[in-house]
Amino acid sequence: MKKLTLVAFSLFCSLAAMAQRNCGSMDNLNNQLLQDPAMQDRMEQIEQHTQNYAAHHQHGERVVVTIPVVFHIIHNGDAVGSGENISDTYIMAQLDQLNKDYRKLNSDVSLVPSVFAGLAADAEIQFCLAQRKPDGTATTGINRVNMGQASWAQNQIESTLKPQTIWDRNKYLNVWSCIFGGSSANLLGYAQFPGGTANTDGVICTYTSFGSVATPNPAGGVYGKGRTLTHEVGHWLNLRHIWGDASCGNDQVSDTPTQQTSNYGCPSHPHVTCSNVNGDMFMNYMDYVDDGCMYMFSNGQKTRMQALFASGGSRVSLATSDGCTAPSGGGTTCGSPASLAAGSLTASGATLSWTAASGATSYNVQYKVSTASTWTTVSASSNSLSLTGLSASTTYSWQVQAVCSSGTSAYVAGSNFTTSASGGGGTCTDTYESNNSKSTAKTMAKNADITASIGTSTDVDWFKFTTTTADPKVKINLSNLAGDYDVKLYRSNTQVGISENSGTTAEQIIYNGTTSAYTYYVYVYGYGGAFSASQCYTLRASTGATNFKTMEMEVAPNEISTLSLFPNPSKDKVTIGFVATANDNVTVRIFDVMGRQISQQNAATNEGANNIGVDVSQLANGYYFVQVDNGTMKQQGRFVVAH
């Protein structure tokens, strides 16, 4: 492991064997430092803040940061969809790929070698198309600009193109596409690191790189699947190349192996350099491999990026930008659907969903067998549509168009989906689909294991069972997890338990709070869209007449068990529910995600079920932890404040 230290920034860049993916960002940084010597001091302050954050922050989940993006499509008078004036389809595919890569929702993350699998991170950063301009008027987030020039050298980009078109960098991530020319002709793209000047801040890429794994740009070849922007946004979020831009250099991240230099193409693992025992992490987005061979950020890289959005971080203003919120009154612009997803796949059906487009009153949805030439067109009144009557084991293509009072958007293509085989799919005895809502919950047997799967990033599972007065105590176990799966327990419509362990750690909920008979609902879901179409989880609902004891420890006299929080998320008050085995006094403490205590209160408890209310109306939106301590045992839970 590399030691995290504050060092002078290395600007070495190996020029040997350079293919298209080269050192544009580091060259740009070098030029900026030469022109603005004070930038070095600003970057060192940012690095010190990053090191302090890495040393002291809690490694749990944070509130997901949403960054408004404006795409500046620079062209020379070409019609939309031709030449560098790329179509909405490739722009939306690029945005979708960016979101998948930064939220660890990319399907190829399954290819990460086992030695690195535990390091692959959901960066908890996502991106939306801007819905309002800096002047407050409506926008689609796509700004097409005819600059009257066929190609652009890097000095022209920095002196003219960016300053004339940039939107407020404190509210937007500015992304430009263009044709590079002159000495910059072989560039794929480059980014400005935090600490640079305001009128050039953002990322610029060649137009041929815009696309996704699902919708590759044929003009980009091996660099047409959208990973150039993923890589360059990483620089914009303060990530270095994984080899540290020096022979066996330091990228300031502790969990990325030291490697000798950049990798190209699609290496085979392990590729060992610099005596790194597990080989190079060449599949990291911050190496130079082909788009189809990079598919992960590490936990340490996530920490560096998240530091920018903590208090005092250089990009913290983006976390509260209103750029993703359409102005009141709407305007006449018709936005495009985004984040298209297909889920709830059965042998004969699927549920299609997408992010609502600004100004849309309805949507046109087209779908077809992928090999067919004719589309079936249907209308949807909301941003989702359930398809029925599909054929089993068949791959379908689909696309969505927003319909607005002022006109329609271009069609945006979603990733192909494949229906399951007749009679179920995967290795589960029963997939229990469709059970994607509480109203369609499937009945499950008590005191018996069942297996089911979360088959897509949008799939969720609901189950139900009923207790009697002879077996009112409940324990839920969720195990054999393929990803970061979580579970909630509802008593009728009231949430009475939640378990949200990280990674593939098994989940458990115990609810001993009643002696009455109820119908319970179990909600199983993947955190951040985690799923596996091939691996099934195991779920068991145990019921009995006596209190269950926790997974972690035996419940001794005067201890507290079964901490539940509801409503969760909450905007004004959180109720903490638990069962005490004796009359006692407890201390209730609230902590933020940095581990700092926010509040403390004392309360008396009675033997049996207890509820303690905590006022959270003055807390900022985000994740918090609550701890209930009776002197012999501390029980902790997590909740979200969302005003």
Active centre residues (catalytic): 232
Is the bond preceding residue 270 a cis peptide, omega within 30 degrees? yes
How far is 85 from 142, CA to CA, in rounded Å? 11
Q: What are phi and psi of 379, to 5 degrees?
A: -105, 145
Residue with tokens 């603005």: 36
How far is 144 from 151, CA to CA, in rounded Å? 15
In sequence order, what are the beta bridge partners of 142? 71
Long-range contacts of 292-295 (CB under 8 A, 24+ apart): 292/108, 292/213, 292/222, 292/225, 292/266, 293/265, 293/266, 293/267, 294/227, 294/230, 294/231, 295/101, 295/106, 295/108, 295/109, 295/111, 295/112
- Identity of residue 122: D
Residues 6+ apart with CB under 8 A from 168: 134
Task: Give the tokens for residue 435.
Answer: 């059970």
Is the bond preceding residue 569 a cis peptide, omega within 30 degrees? yes
User: Length of the chain, please?
Assistant: 643
The DSSP call for residue 24 is: H
Handedness of CA 500, 476, 526, 113 (dihedral sign): positive
Alpha helices in 248-374 (DSSP H): 299-307
8 A C-beta contact, residue 489 and residue 522? yes
The DSSP call for residue 35 is: H
How far is 95 from 101, CA to CA, in rounded Å? 10
Residue with tokens 């801040």: 201
- Identity of residue 337: P
User: With the CA atoms of 565, 568, 569 and 570 taken in that order, what torsion angle do they form, in degrees rounded to the nearest 10?
Assistant: -60
CA atoms within 13 A on the CB side of 448: 6
In sequence order, what are the beta bridge partners of 452? 537
Task: Give the tokens for residue 619.
Answer: 């807390």
How far is 309 from 321, CA to CA, in rounded Å? 12
8 A C-beta contact, residue 181 and residue 225? no
Q: What are phi and psi of 633, to 5 degrees?
A: -155, 140
Task: Give the tokens for residue 227.
Answer: 């990973």
Q: Which helix (H) or strand (E) holds 236?
A: helix 227-236
Task: Give the tokens for residue 300.
Answer: 């340490």
In sequence order, what are the beta bridge partners of 384? 353
**For the chain, how far is it from start to end, CA to CA, in angstroms?**
41
Alpha helices in 478-631 (DSSP H): none
Q: Which residue spans within 26-138 are E strands per DSSP? A: 65-75, 125-129
8 A C-beta contact, residue 316 and residue 310? yes
Alpha carbon 60 to its chain's center: 15
b/e map 62-100, b = 16+ CB within 10 Å: bbebbbbbbbbbbbeeeeeeeebbbbbbbbbbbbbbbbb
Q: What is the residue-wise DSSP string for 596-637?
A: -EEEEEEEEE-SEEEEEEEE-TTSPSEEEEEEEE-SS-EEEE
